[in-house]
Amino acid sequence: MIIELTGIPGAGKTTMARELVARHGYVYVECNTLFMPGDAQQRGLLRWIVRPIAEMRGLLSAVGGLVTSSTYRTLLREMFHLLETNRCGFFNKVNIVRNTLHKIAAHRTLDRRRATVHIVDEGFTHLPQSLLVDGAPPDIVALKRSIARLVSALPMPSILVILDIDRQTATTRVAARGHRRFGGCTEVITAHLENAQLVATLSAEEFARLHGDDDHKILSFLPEGNQAGRDPIDVIAATMESITCSR
């Protein structure tokens, strides 16, 4: 079973994933490195030897998924449709395609391991952030339409965790990371997070509209705690236990 975490940069996704692993023994999965041996992720030279092989394994798995699943084909079709109108750069588009194929390969692999609970940081449900924050449609109506089309095509996890956070805290955290994408410029970070928060809000509304009453559980709260004062880690674990018991 899969728990996916999504939210704007700096929302605390990775921190929450580590907490879930440490306290409940769930398995953390990074889509881009799923097919790499664990030691190869740590060793410099070995990493560069093994990485092309892992990339090929992931690509072959993704192709297998596209051949056998109309869900993945629909997703890829919607992704390319959005990329046609997206104003981001060519290499950014290539990276989005590559990452999406990694997500397909990872989702297909994890779907066969249903006895284990996997934590996926930035899985399928994070694609609205990847596709629509940079180079998003210029008006809110077009953006809502794009989000609705994309969300309707996304395979859903057992639990979707949406993390929210105030923009100032997110800006401070992202700036502290020194990401070269932003060049340390607070204005650039702030503008990116403003777009990211808009996309996240609209996506959360669409997820709730489409999947709020079905078998998929959607949890939304601040990383520091939800409005009821309960620990988010305990909320997620209790939700996963209820899903497991009902199956």
End-to-end CA distance of the chain: 11
Phi-psi region of 178 (alpha: psi -120 to 50; beta: other; left: phi over 0): left
Residue appearing with tokens 């709730």: 208
Mean pLDDT throughout 82-99?
A: 80
Cα 218 off chain centre by: 14
C-alpha R_g of the chain: 18
pLDDT of the residue at 176: 83
> What is the distance between the alpha carbons of residues 224 and 233, in angstroms, rounded to a whole number?
10
Tens of pLDDT, residue by residue over 102-139, are: 888 888 888 777 778 888 888 888 888 888 887 666 67
Mean pLDDT throughout 66-91?
A: 82
pLDDT of the residue at 214: 61
- pTM score: 0.80
The larger pLDDT score, comparing residue 84 to residue 43, is at 84
pLDDT of the residue at 137: 60
The larger pLDDT score, comparing residue 31 to residue 163, is at 163
Does residue 23 carry a pLDDT above 50? Answer: yes
Grade residue 66 by pLDDT with cuts at 50, 70 and 90. Answer: confident
Phi-psi region of 55 (alpha: psi -120 to 50; beta: other; left: phi over 0): alpha
Does residue 77 carry a pLDDT above 80? Answer: yes
Does residue 198 carry a pLDDT above 50? Answer: yes
SS3 of residue 112 by DSSP? coil
Beta strands in the chain (DSSP E): 2-7, 27-29, 118-121, 159-163, 217-221
> What is the distance between the alpha carbons of residues 34 and 36, in angstroms, rounded to a whole number?
6
Does residue 199 carry a pLDDT above 60? Answer: yes
Tens of pLDDT, residue by residue over 168-186, are: 888 888 888 776 666 667 7
Among the residue ranges 8-12, 15-19, 57-61, 74-78, the one predicted with the least confidence is 57-61
pLDDT of the residue at 39: 47
Q: How many separate helices (H) and strands (E) can be counted in the chain?
A: 9, 5
Mean pLDDT, the chain, whole residue set: 79
Beta sheet of 27-29, edge-to-edge order: 27-29, 118-121, 2-7, 159-163, 217-221
Grade residue 61 by pLDDT with cuts at 50, 70 and 90. Answer: confident
Grade residue 229 by pLDDT with cuts at 50, 70 and 90. Answer: low
Q: What percent of the chain has pLDDT over 90?
A: 2
